[in-house]
Chain A
Amino acid sequence: MYGDLSSRSFAGILVLLALGFLLPLVLPEYYLYLGNTLMMYAILALGLDLLLGWSGQFAFAHIAFFGIGIYTSALLQMRLGVPFIIGVPIAAALAGLVGLLIAIPSTRLRTVYLALATYAFAECAQWVLRTWDSLTKGSDGLRFSPPDLLGYVVDTDRRAFPVMAIVLALVLLSFLYLTRSKLGRALCAIRDSEHVAAACGIDVKRTKIVAFVLSAVYAGVAGGTYTLYQSFVTPDSVGLAQLILVLTMVVVGGSGSIAGVLVGVVLIGLLPEFLRAAPRGLLVWQEFFYGLILILATMFMPRGLWGFAEALLARAQPSTKPDTAAASTAGVRQPAP
């Protein structure tokens, strides 16, 4: 569970990288666009899950950091000609810095108040993007040129796909290490009981702030990758609706588990495609279905689809994995495998 990465995780990341270079050779452009979108959402959702699933903090500011990531990397590249490879780390750092400024006052707050304060911040950030016309072009939206990676111009989804895969692989690797580190264990301890964690000598406030900042950095990176395969952004793309979408991915897939989040991203991310294939009338129902899915998921799969599947597997073979089976029947949440 802790310590070195399992060879299975390494193999998964290698497969991702291989697919990143092979799929663009065979798949049509539209599928690659879908793949890019899913990978971007994966980074965004993992970052949100770091707060939600791993440290049990309900924070809504995530989408604002995503917006900061998009606008910073796009503007740096348009106005100052900063290349993608430098622009995205700057964007991520800026998101992290703003995250730190928000985290210091808001991690004092609990439950409702944390949710509301961070939600209010997200709305304020969106308002700034909408009203700062001279910089962000306001509600009209910002159109930006394709990023240039040391001469490799990413102007199509086909060219963006391998870059996306590399970024996602790096994010996954860092996430795996992070959740296995002392910090990851401290976060789980805080999630399960703040008092016990404090009694064990964990600096609760500091750990929460670090988690908040790291989550903001992931959102900033996700924003940077957005500029790889999109060429247009409006303040509406970083609103509450987008956040709810990412939240649905995390909750449906299984919060607190990397595999679960990825499952959620793929399922919910592809849902509009399935709805599009259905008769036209169904597209109107999208909002209704998201609501229904959220309600049913919290009711019947508290640990998401992934947790549900794990519990089923554990029940099917109780002798080989006695501890997992016991834990899941007792309803104790376990960190990701």
Chain B
Amino acid sequence: MSFLFLQAAASGIVTGCVYALVALSLVIVYKSTDVVNFAGGELLMLGGYLGLLALIYFELSYPVMVIAVIAAMYVVGALFERITLGTVRGRRYSKNAEADLVPVVVATIGLGYLLKGAVRVVPYTEEVRRLPPLLSGPPIFVGDVILQQQDVAIIAATVVIMLALTIFFGWTRIGKALRATSQNPRAAALIGIPVKSMRMIAWGLAASLAGIAGILLSPKLLMTPDMGNVVMLAFAAAIIGGFSSLVGCVVGGVILGVVQNFIGILFSPQAMSVTPFFVIMLILVLRPQGLFGELAFKKV
């Protein structure tokens, strides 16, 4: 029995890391542009399919494919921010930030549908596909627990990306400028930060991250145009972590992954699917700032 729980915990950590990667992408967008990105899941899906396209159609090698996907996703994210969100933001019509969020969020929902529809119309995606894993080989035994090599790659990638992002936002000039842009765009513009480019960078980074998550997740999941639904788990992970903390995302993702697996064992696989939503509601009602976030109030 205890072995069962150990194995469940291990696989929970792995899936949690994938949630965390998507959550990181959502949080970067929220931290630097104040937008909740409802298209995060579809960006992940697009990343997975672009990877498949690069491997099978263009016959690129795996490392080249990863770089190509990161670059392509960066362009998608940056262009969406520049073309769509830039225009939407230019047309603000009320003084209330909350009401202004509506059109921006609707635009990201639109992007999600657009991407899903665009992938679905390609006849190739009618069948369920599978992306080859980054690392394949005999599974690794840690005590009694079995880990696939791909799982190790996922955990390693998550930790590296989280550390890199923490350093980026905390210590580099661009990272600090991104944070300044989010806190007060007007003041940031006054001290010479190119706000528009900053927002494009943030969206580009976020889309690239979602693409990486797509490449890592696609070998484990069945690839369909609907695989973007995983974004709700990422939202849950981000909310557990407080929606603005990078470390919080990863911890939140891992907690969610493990709890979900335990609930699957203790109750039923059906109960597993509702866990993230239940967690979101519970945390928001009891502790809206999440486990790691500070409650931020924005004054007029």
Contacts and interface: CB of A to CB of B under 8 A. Distances in A.
* A and B associate: yes
Interface of A: 52, 56-58, 105-106, 108-113, 115-117, 119-121, 123-124, 127, 131, 190-195, 244, 247, 251, 255, 284-295, 297-300, 302-303, 331-333
A193 B300 contact: yes
B96 A191 contact: yes
28 contacts: A56-B98, A56-B99, A57-B98, A106-B285, A112-B30, A113-B239, A113-B243, A113-B288, A116-B284, A120-B277, A127-B277, A191-B94, A247-B109, A251-B106, A284-B120, A284-B121, A285-B121, A287-B113, A287-B117, A291-B115, A294-B106, A298-B88, A298-B110, A299-B87, A302-B88, A302-B91, A331-B92, A332-B93
Consensus secondary structure, chain A interface: helix
Contact of B117 (A117, A124, A289, A303): A289
B274 A127 contact: yes
Nearest to B285: A105
Contacts of B277: 119-121, 123-124, 127
B105 A288 contact: no
Nearest to A195: B300
Contacts of B101: 58, 111-112, 115
Nearest to B117: A288
Contacts of B84: 295, 298-299
A291 B232 contact: no
Nearest to B286: A105
Given A291-B114, A294-B107, A299-B107, A106 B96 contact: no
A149 B277 CA distance: 39
Contacts of B118: 288
B127 to A, nearest CB: 15
Contacts of A294: 106-107, 109-110, 113
Contacts of B103: 251, 298, 302
Q: Which of A52, A108, A119, A303 has the most CB of B within 10 A?
A: A119
Contacts of B93: 302-303, 331-333
A298 to B, nearest CB: 4
Nearest to B107: A298
Contacts of A115: 36, 101, 105
A298 B111 CA distance: 11
Q: Which of B104, B239, B281, B288 has the most CB of A within 10 A?
A: B281
A119 B279 CA distance: 12
Interface of B: 30, 36, 84, 87-88, 91-99, 101-107, 109-118, 120-121, 232, 235-236, 239, 243, 270, 273-274, 276-278, 280-281, 284-285, 288, 300
B121 A298 contact: no
Given A57-B98, A112-B243, A332-B93, 11 more contacts: A58-B98, A108-B288, A113-B288, A120-B280, A124-B278, A193-B94, A255-B102, A289-B117, A293-B110, A295-B111, A300-B87
Contacts of A286: 117
A284 B121 CA distance: 6
Contacts of B285: 105-106, 117
Contacts of A193: 94-96, 300
Nearest to A281: B121
Nearest to A192: B94
A297 B102 CA distance: 12
Nearest to A58: B102
Nearest to B91: A302
Contacts of A123: 232, 274, 277
A240 B94 CA distance: 28
B237 to A, nearest CB: 12
B98 A194 contact: yes
B96 A194 contact: yes
A235 to B, nearest CB: 12
Contacts of A120: 232, 236, 276-278, 280-281, 284
B270 A131 contact: yes
Given A117-B285, A127-B273, A56 B109 contact: no
Given A193-B96, A194-B96, A292-B114, A113 B105 contact: no
Contacts of B87: 299-300
A56 B94 contact: yes
A119 B243 CA distance: 16
Contacts of A284: 120-121
Contacts of A303: 93
Given A120-B281, A191-B99, A302-B91, A112 B36 contact: yes
A291 B285 CA distance: 32
B114 A117 contact: no
A37 B103 CA distance: 26
A56 B105 CA distance: 13
Contacts of B236: 120
Contacts of B243: 112-113
B280 A288 contact: no
Nearest to B95: A193
